[in-house]
Amino acid sequence: MIEPLITVLTPTWNRASTLPRLKASLEAQTYPNFEWLIVDDGSTDGTADLVRQWQLDSTLVIILIERQNGGKHRSVNDGVRAAKGRWIYIVDSDDKLPNRALENIASKLPSIEEIPNVAGLSGLKADFDGHIIGDYFPDGREFCDAISLTYRYGIRADKADVYKKEILLHFPFPEFKGEKFLTEAVVWYRIANAGYVLLLTNEVLYECEYRPDGLSAHSLELRVANPIGTLLFYKEMLGYDLPHRARLREASNYIRFRRHYQCSPNFDPRSFEPVKQSSLPMKVRFPAFIVGNVAYVFDRLALARSKNPQNACDVSVSMPSDSEKPIHVLHVINSLSQGGAERFISSLLPRLKEQHIENTVLALNLESAVYASMLEKAGISIYGTHLRHFVTIENEKKSNKRLQALQLYSVSRVFDVLRAIRYLQPDIVHAHLAPSFHWCALASLFARKPIYMTTEHASKNRRMSIPLFKWIEKACYARYASIICVSSSVAQALSKWLGIPPSKLQTIISGIDIEQFSNSATPVAEVVQFLAGRIGISMTARFVPVKDHPVALEILAKLPERYALILIGDGPERPHIQDLAAKMHLEQRCLFLGSREDVPDILSACHLYIQTSQQEGFGLAVAEAMAAGLPVVVRNASGLFDLVDGAGLFFDAQDIEQAVAQILSLESIDLREKIVLAESERIKYLSIERTAHEYGSYYRQILRTKKTTE
């Protein structure tokens, strides 16, 4: 077997949801002579099982190393030792490569392989939209070392670096007991200080995103929580030939983080001794002492305000023991009627109960509460609201006339939230959707004991288009200790709209009850009778403008008579859509089912799934259809690309002819089977159990943070 020229080395921890994106980019490479070496750093989300399946199915050469959780730098050391390629390209598990990246790299390697002082090559990184991250390399510079790039030319952003394996074996990452983070610059600068340079290219060799829950987002917490590695880095920097201003900055940082460590209850004089800086020049010592101590004070203030604990770098997650006190979470939501967020929490909360999380639901409107019975069966208390009191769901059903008068958007809902908090005494108040989100934010001004969290379920909403709302929304989001985003696209949209700092955003990918949808064997008779042998296209969505049901009707009108449309859901736009279907003479081809609990059984009676939404936060209904084994055809909209790319078909907004062509193409058995197989692989790692595990761990994490800062 031919030895690979390049080893693509991917250290990973709990990134089963993003690894498929990297895999797809590697499968699209135009250069074949490489291996993909994945080091699983103790993941708990099924990463190893996913990779083992790929080893059986993929055309890529994939090597898997499993290790106990110890941090990225330890994973890199293990990977370098196991690599068969002569060149090592470290690619993170939530990033990807342009299609010609490895070909461009391989074309340059022969020119530098035999030059003794050339350690590798360095190219550019871009974001997923193609924007260059950081600066281009200086004109006229073919070779340069990493220290000069940073401190002489001022190029500080991450670059895409490929190193000779023999160099990385000679310069491994230092490992310190109990520490799980070490900046990669320690090794890159050691290599530079030893006289090695890099070949520079202004080609984009790497595409990345900086995730709100990634290492880059928690720089301060990581450095404070891993003091020996941090102090080693700054001590070594002071030993290099740096300009005066750079030396002053690194000296200030050394004093700053030395103070953090010496004031920590974990301070160990013996471990500190090897990284102790004996002396500094007088012209640096005094200003560095002042700046470093001032920076330390500001750090402590920032950490006190931060909703991430100082040990946010701890990537190992421990399950709660039976002796731990259960956490009580009050979930506040507009209703329990048909909707993605409502369906999500009805699946999530029973699983959280298994993790010693006690959940109560406060629904501001219990009309058409289709998911209430599911929660009640799991032993989860549900409360509704009245103008003067709130009652359990049993009493709510008896008071339906008064319920009709409930004004969801009335500011008096704040008092309902406050009464629920006073009565239930929750540890955490978790808001879902607007206006529940707004009422909980206002309630936090008066009931300050609980921790307030919210989940952002959509990457776009109507409030984003109203300038006045920007300041109202910013003030409301500021009241929350943490904002959970159901996908990276939601986190990016929220950060772009309001400038919310990444430290406040936590991405937890929504999951579904895979077994419920994949094992349904009782097709709904009503649907079977309506279809009468026709091809059933299903769509699950609330009848609101953003779901764009008229597009679904236009597509149906262009399809042959053998196709029919099954619409699941309810909402204010439903009468209008029904009238529109009648005007288009489609009433005999459209079945409006309203809000339903038996969605898995409805999907099992259909043949394919369509989604016409203008945007989605994650696309929960699409994921459910994929789990049910239906090939999906979706609008190329925000929130759906990562889920469906490579496992479904897209059509552009308003391109009805393209949508029709995609649907008709699924009459090909080969294409249909190929898509369903890809869907089954994609959906395997979107289980509600994984999501519940991440939610439970995060609840405990923020409660521990509160206790340490009180």
Q: Which domains are seen in the chain, by residue range?
A: 6-209 (3.90.550.10), 217-305 (no CATH), 327-511+689-709 (3.40.50.2000), 518-686 (3.40.50.2000)
Query: Residue 595 pLDDT > 80, yes or no?
Result: yes
Nearest residue to 311 (alpha-carbon basis) of 705, 676, 706, 709: 705
Quick one: average pLDDT of 248-261? 92
Dump pLDDT digits (tens) for 153-167. 888 778 999 999 999
Nearest residue to 512 (alpha-carbon basis) of 698, 683, 337: 683
Helix axes 436-443 and 467-477, enclosed angle (nearest 10): 50
Torsion of CA 411, 415, 418, 419, to 10 degrees: -150
Q: How confident is the model at residue 210 (pLDDT cuts 50, 70, 90)?
A: low
Dist CA 478 CA 504 (whole Å) = 9
**CB distance 595 to 567 below 8 Å:** no
Dist CA 277 CA 251 (whole Å) = 10
Quick one: average pLDDT of 189-201? 95
**Alpha-carbon distances of 281 from 273, 285, 288, 289, 589, rounded to whole Å:** 20, 6, 10, 12, 83
The beta-strand segments (E) located in 443-508 are 451-456, 482-485, 505-507
Dump pLDDT digits (tens) for 457-499. 887 777 777 777 888 999 999 999 999 998 888 888 888 888 8
Residue bearing the bigger pLDDT, 75 or 325: 75
Torsion of CA 201, 207, 211, 216, to 10 degrees: -10
Quick one: average pLDDT of 352-372? 86
Long-range contact set of residues 281-286: C-beta below 8 Å, sequence gap at least 24: 283/244, 284/244, 284/247, 284/248, 284/251, 285/251
Of 231-235, 275-279, 452-456, 674-678, least confident by mean pLDDT is 275-279
Query: Residue 440 pLDDT > 90, yes or no?
Result: yes
> Average model confidence (pLDDT) for the chain?
87
Quick one: average pLDDT of 680-696? 88
Query: Residue 396 pLDDT > 70, yes or no?
Result: no
Dump pLDDT digits (tens) for 495-526. 888 888 888 899 998 889 888 888 776 899 99
Question: How many other CB atoms are found less than 10 A from the CB of residue 449?
Answer: 11
Dist CA 302 CA 315 (whole Å) = 22
548: phi > 0 → left, psi -120 to 50 → alpha, else beta; which? left
What was the pLDDT predicted at 432? 95
Residue bearing the bigger pLDDT, 387 or 223: 223
**Range 52-63 burial, b when 16+ CB lie within 10 A, else e:** eebeeeeebbbb
**CB distance 226 to 180 below 8 Å:** yes
Highest mean pLDDT among 124-133, 152-161, 259-268, 578-587: 578-587
What was the pLDDT predicted at 220? 84
**Alpha-carbon distances of 252 from 260, 274, 641, rounded to whole Å:** 13, 19, 44
Q: How confident is the model at residue 682 (pLDDT cuts 50, 70, 90)?
A: confident
Quick one: average pLDDT of 547-564? 96
Query: Residue 567 pLDDT > 70, yes or no?
Result: yes
Q: Which residue has the tokens 């880059």?
A: 216
- Percent of the chain exceeding pLDDT 70 equals 92
Quick one: average pLDDT of 681-708? 88
Q: How confident is the model at residue 98 (pLDDT cuts 50, 70, 90)?
A: very high
- 549 phi and psi angles, rounded to 5 deg: -60, -30
Dump pLDDT digits (tens) for 333-348. 998 887 788 989 999 9
Query: Residue 651 pLDDT > 90, yes or no?
Result: yes
Q: How confident is the model at residue 710 (pLDDT cuts 50, 70, 90)?
A: low
Q: How confident is the model at residue 3 (pLDDT cuts 50, 70, 90)?
A: confident
Structure tokens at 193: 């200080």
Dump pLDDT digits (tens) for 401-419. 344 334 677 887 898 899 8
